[in-house]
């Protein structure tokens, strides 16, 4: 029996509802496997914690998390309560950075049982590999002058190391799939960082001569996510472009509420963090109607990363089977509660 220590951070809003649901499913999956068990340790770090303690996590929070195998996180942020730059940068982005989770992997595929908002979605199945540590999300910048003369400067920072790491990850991943990598660029309008991005892509792709590749500007690429998403296999994108494309990926699947994500420390020196694409959705939180599928699918990605792709596959099958039964939460046009959706998935998993 292998035991894994998982740090659980439900966080804010619907994170509190979907994380317990996903843990139930992961527990059931472990039982089915038979040779694997989880120790879940919960951390109450969120905006309420902030209001009480003046910080999103204790000073030794990162050190504490380093003792775990993986981190399973729901969502962070309560804009009405705590400013985003405090809550997100004090917990979510802080963990991404300090754990060097420099690759964010986010699949989007047409699930059985779900209706895409696209008229003819074909059978798309793509993965966005998002650079997760730098780029447009750099902390460097500030403001000068005041009143009419005020201005803000934001520095986007692209290092060869991080850019290349994301691209290599994308090429390696593509080799296990349909062997095509698309680079999301905007070098026609963004004149320093994106030509650099293109140059690194040229250099990396030379090492993968058997893999087909192309570069597409982010504006056209976003449009292609609507017009012909089935044409894409693996897409490598900067932090910002990856962020935008993966919400779009959720949308074309049918709901952002089902989109999963994995913040990977690919070197496996620190824990990785598994956290769905959606946020804390304060508007629907507390009513038991949130969609647990994004968090459950995110749990499947954790199993994949831990070396259990077979039971990961069972979970995705169970999700698709439940949706095919017509069990759907409100965001998918149905009336199922979080509980009912979870039960339907559990039922199929245990079959």
Ligand X SMILES: CC(C)[C@H](C(=O)O)[C@@H](O)C(=O)O
Which option in ligand X, a second copy, none does residue 267 bind, with CB closer than 5 to 8 A by kind? none
CA-CA distance, 21 to 39, in Å (whole number)? 16
Say which entry of a second copy, ligand X, none residue 147 contacts (CB below 5 to 8 A, set by partner kind). Answer: a second copy
CB of 84 to a second copy, least distance (A): 4
Residues 239 and 18: their CA atoms lie apart, in Å, by 25
Q: Which of residues 59-88 bind ligand X (CB under 6 A)?
A: 88
39: buried, middle or exposed (CB in 10 Å: 19+, 13-18, 0-12)?
exposed
Q: Which is nearer to a second copy, 23 or 245 (CB)?
A: 245
Q: Is 277 in the site for ligand X (CB under 6 A)?
A: yes
Name 171's Cβ contacts closer than 8 Å, sequence gap at least 6. 181, 204, 205, 207, 208, 211, 234
Partner whose binding site includes residue 131, from a second copy, ligand X, none (CB under 5 to 8 Å by kind) = none
Angle at 305 between CA 122 and CA 162, to 5 degrees: 85
Partner interacting with residue 351 (select from a second copy, ligand X, none; CB below 5-8 Å by kind): none
The pair of structure tokens assigned to 32 is 């089915």
Please give the structure tokens belonging to residue 228.
């012909």
Strand pairing category for 125-131 and 103-109: antiparallel
| Residue 51 vs 220, nearer CB to ligand X | 220
User: Which lies closer to a second copy via its Cβ, residue 141 or residue 313?
Assistant: 141
142 binds, among a second copy, ligand X, none (CB under 5 to 8 A by kind): a second copy
Smallest separation (angstroms) from ligand X to the CB of 339: 26
Provide the terminal-to-terminal Cα distance of the chain, rounded to the nearest Å.
23
Distance CA(318)–CA(325), nearest Å, equals: 11
Which residue, 325, 331, 333, is CA-closest to 345?
Answer: 325
Residue number of the CB closest to ligand X reads 189
Q: Identify which of residues 32 and 266 has a Cβ nearer to ligand X in the complex.
A: 266
Question: Which of 200, 262 has the CB closer to ligand X?
Answer: 262
Give the residue carrying structure tokens 């740090």: 7
- The smaller minimum CB distance to ligand X, of residues 257 and 323, is found at 257
**Contact residues: a second copy, CB under 8 A:** 77, 84-85, 88-89, 93, 115-120, 136-137, 139-143, 147-161, 186-197, 218-220, 222-224, 226-227, 239-240, 243-244, 246-248, 250-252, 256
Whole-angstrom CA distances from 239 to 84, 128, 132, 170, 236 are 17, 11, 5, 14, 10
Burial class (CB in 10 A: 0-12, 13-18, 19+), 291: buried
Give the residue, chosen from 243, 253, 256, 337, that forms a contact with ligand X under the rule CB under 6 A: 243
Query: Do 133 and 102 form a contact (C-beta atoms < 8 A)?
Result: yes
Confirm if 299 and 17 have CB atoms less than 8 A apart.
no
- SS3 state at 103: strand
State the nearest-atom distance from the C-beta of 155 to ligand X, in Å.
17
What angle, rounded to 10 degrees, do the helices at 15-33 and 293-306 form?
40
Could you say whether residue 219 binds ligand X (CB under 6 A)? yes
Answer yes or no whether residue 310 interacts with ligand X by CB under 6 A: no
- Least distance in Å: CB of 338 to a second copy? 20
With CB cut-offs between 5 and 8 Å by kind, which of ligand X, a second copy, none does residue 156 bind?
Answer: a second copy
User: CB of 265 within 8 A of CB of 35?
Assistant: no
Q: Decide which of a second copy, ligand X, none touches 193; Cβ closer than 5 to 8 Å per partner kind.
A: a second copy
Q: Which is nearer to ligand X, 208 or 241 (CB)?
A: 241
* Partner touching 36 among ligand X, a second copy, none, CB below 5 to 8 Å by kind: none
Give whichever of 48 and 219 is closer to ligand X, judged by the CB atom.
219
Q: Which residues bind ligand X (CB under 6 A)?
A: 88, 188-189, 219, 243, 277, 279
């Amino acid at each position: 029996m292998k035991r894994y220590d998982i740090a659980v951070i439900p966080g804010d809003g619907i994170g509190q509802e979907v994380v317990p649901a996903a843990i139930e499913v992961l527990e059931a999956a472990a039982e089915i496997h038979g040779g694997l068990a989880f120790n879940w340790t919960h951390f109450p770090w969120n905006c309420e914690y902030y209001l009480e303690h003046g910080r999103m996590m204790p000073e030794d929070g990162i050190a504490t998390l380093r003792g775990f195998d993986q981190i399973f996180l729901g969502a962070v942020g309560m804009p009405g309560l705590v400013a985003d730059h405090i809550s997100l940068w004090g917990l979510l982005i802080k963990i991404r950075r300090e754990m060097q989770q420099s690759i964010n992997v986010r699949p989007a595929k047409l699930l059985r049982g779900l209706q895409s908002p696209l008229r003819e979605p074909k059978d798309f199945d793509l993965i966005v590999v998002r650079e997760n540590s730098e780029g447009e999300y750099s902390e460097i910048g500030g403001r000068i002058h005041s009143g009419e003369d005020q201005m803000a400067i934001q520095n986007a920072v692209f290092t060869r190391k991080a850019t290349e790491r994301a691209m290599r990850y994308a090429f390696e991943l593509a080799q296990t799939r349909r062997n095509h990598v698309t680079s999301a660029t905007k070098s026609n309008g963004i004149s320093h960082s994106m030509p650099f991005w293109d140059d690194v892509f040229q250099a990396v792709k030379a090492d993968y001569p058997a893999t087909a590749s192309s570069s597409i500007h982010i504006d056209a690429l976003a449009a292609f996510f609507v017009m012909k998403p089935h044409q894409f296999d693996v897409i490598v994108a900067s932090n910002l472009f990856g962020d935008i494309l993966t919400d779009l990926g959720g949308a074309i699947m049918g709901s952002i509420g089902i989109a999963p994500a994995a913040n990977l420390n690919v070197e496996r020196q620190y824990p990785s963090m598994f956290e769905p694409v959606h946020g804390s959705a304060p508007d629907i939180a507390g009513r038991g109607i949130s969609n647990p599928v994004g968090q459950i699918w995110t749990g499947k990605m954790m199993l994949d990363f831990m070396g259990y792709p077979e039971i990961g596959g069972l979970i995705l099958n169970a999700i698709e089977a439940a949706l095919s039964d017509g069990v759907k939460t409100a965001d998918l046009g149905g009336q199922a509660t979080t509980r009912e959706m979870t039960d339907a998935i559990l039922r199929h998993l245990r079959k």
